[in-house]
Amino acid sequence: MAQTSFELTARDGRARRGVIRTPRGEIRTPAFMPVGTAATVKGMMPESVAATGADILLGNTYHLMLRPGAERVARLGGLHKFMNWSGPILTDSGGFQVMSLAELRKLTEDGVSFRSHIDGSKHMLSPERSMEIQKLLGSDIVMAFDECPALPADRDRIAQSMRLSMRWAARSREAFGDRPGHMLFGIQQGGLEQDLRGESAEALKGIGFDGYAVGGLAVGEGQEAMFGCLDYAPDMLPEDRPRYLMGVGKPDDIVGAVKRGIDMMDCVLPSRSGRTGQAWTRRGQVNIKNARHADDPRPLDENCTCPACRGYSRAYLHHVFRAGEMISGMLLTWHNLHYYQELMAGMREAISGARFDAFEAEFHAVRAEGDIDPL
Ligand SMILES: [Zn+2]
């Protein structure tokens, strides 16, 4: 029966390069996972997402359980078939989004009962139900069900929440069972408290997972505090398993996280920004609605090989954004996802060549030049 594995192929300082093997394909790490919240990466055909270099997508348990429903997706052949994506899919546990989006939440030892933010219908999520939903969806990488307090929170609240998440992690492991070809990741919590992060890591290692996420960051603490935590948190997790930083981030967050030993990340930023006229380039962020682009015949990034940069000027991208045309979000999302994947590929090469520090210095130097030369 097909199995999964993780192999580290190069290291440079704390940065790691590797490959996760699943029956649905290989995931080159460090990996960036585009977010397909509602069984679509908004504005992108699945083959276009693959063309940007993405090996794996993320799906959201909370959104999919409410609409169209996990049982319905299962009856229709699972999430891969439903959304026409044949590569690996990671699903989150629903824990984070139920706490941030659902209405009338009631948190108990057993789980969370809540009302849908879409139609007010009643639902519940527990470690057991989250494992069941992720199995119905057919997820390749399943996340343990956890609870994550927004920061800042006081130490007692963070400790209580972390210990509840560790009890839920054990129940998730038990409910997941033995599923060859699928991976289950545990999630480290503990906020910005180093000793609580250590306690959480020990609890997770005692349970045993196929991979480990650093959870509870990118929730409003700021980059400096996040990097401060990443200076120690990943090293508390097993060396020989993938490490996933959830919900990160901007390009400079991603480079800083990889430098600190993170292997996988996801974020809505490249796709969400694309729909609001924001582009991310080697030379920094570009707001395409700005009037300075209206007569500019040059592409977003002269070195970029994406369809938006090969075929269209800043003037055109500015025009279609201002005119509210659908192609605006499509092109900017394509460019952003392409840029993110190029960034990951560049870091993987740099790690293999033992020149990550030089890569990082160049990354920051190019951004400091500003997004384009004067016409
Ligand atoms: Zn481009």
Question: Given this model, what pLDDT does residue 2 score?
Answer: 61
Instruction: Check if the beta carbon of residue 59 is closer than 8 Å to that of residue 102.
Output: no
Question: Given this model, what pLDDT does residue 374 score?
Answer: 87
List 12, 253, 263, 266, catalytic entry: 266
Centre of ligand 1 to C-alpha 348, Å, is 20
Question: Given this model, what pLDDT does residue 330 score?
Answer: 97
For residue 321, say whether it is annotated as part of any ligand binding site.
no
Question: Which amino acid is located at 227 in the chain?
Answer: F
For the question of residue 253 being annotated catalytic, the response is no
For residue 306, say whether it is annotated as part of any ligand binding site.
yes
For residue 94, say whether it is annotated as part of any ligand binding site.
yes
Q: How many residues does the chain have?
A: 375
Tens digit of each residue's pLDDT (9 = 90 or more) over 129-144: 999 999 999 999 999 9
User: Which residues crowd ion ligand 1, with CB under 5 Å?
Assistant: 304, 306, 308-309, 335
15-22: strand order across its sheet? 5-12, 15-22, 25-29
Please give the DSSP secondary-structure letter assigned to residue 92: -
Q: Which of 83, 59, 188, 189 is nearest to 133 (CA)?
A: 59
Question: Given this model, what pLDDT does residue 23 score?
Answer: 97
Q: Which of 69, 67, 70, 79 is nearest to 131 (CA)?
A: 70
Map out the domains of the chain as residue ranges.
Answer: 5-266, 274-369
Task: Encode burial over 207-244: b for 16+ CB neighbours within 10 A, e otherwise.
Answer: bebbbbbbbbbbbebeeeebeebbeebbebbeeebbbb
Question: Which amino acid is located at 190 in the chain?
Answer: G
User: Does domain 5-266 sit in CATH 3.20.20.105?
Assistant: yes
Cα separation, 61 vs 19, in Å, equals: 25
For the question of residue 373 being annotated catalytic, the response is no
At residue 205, the 3 state secondary structure works out as helix
Centre of ligand 1 to C-alpha 281, Å, is 8
Which residues lie closer than 8 Å to 128 by C-beta, 6 or more apart?
A: 111, 171, 175
Ranges under pLDDT 70 in the chain:
1-2
Centre of ligand 1 to C-alpha 55, Å, is 19
Question: Given this model, what pLDDT does residue 59 score?
Answer: 97
Question: Given this model, what pLDDT does residue 264 score?
Answer: 98
Question: Given this model, what pLDDT does residue 194 score?
Answer: 98
Chain centroid to Cα 247, Å, comes to 5
What is this structure's pTM?
A: 0.97
Tens digit of each residue's pLDDT (9 = 90 or more) over 317-347: 999 999 999 999 999 999 999 999 999 999 9
For residue 63, say whether it is annotated as part of any ligand binding site.
no
Instruction: Check if the beta carbon of residue 249 is closer than 8 Å to that of residue 269.
Output: yes
Cα separation, 271 vs 286, in Å, equals: 14
Instruction: Check if the beta carbon of residue 242 is closer than 8 Å to that of residue 263.
Output: yes
For residue 148, say whether it is annotated as part of any ligand binding site.
no
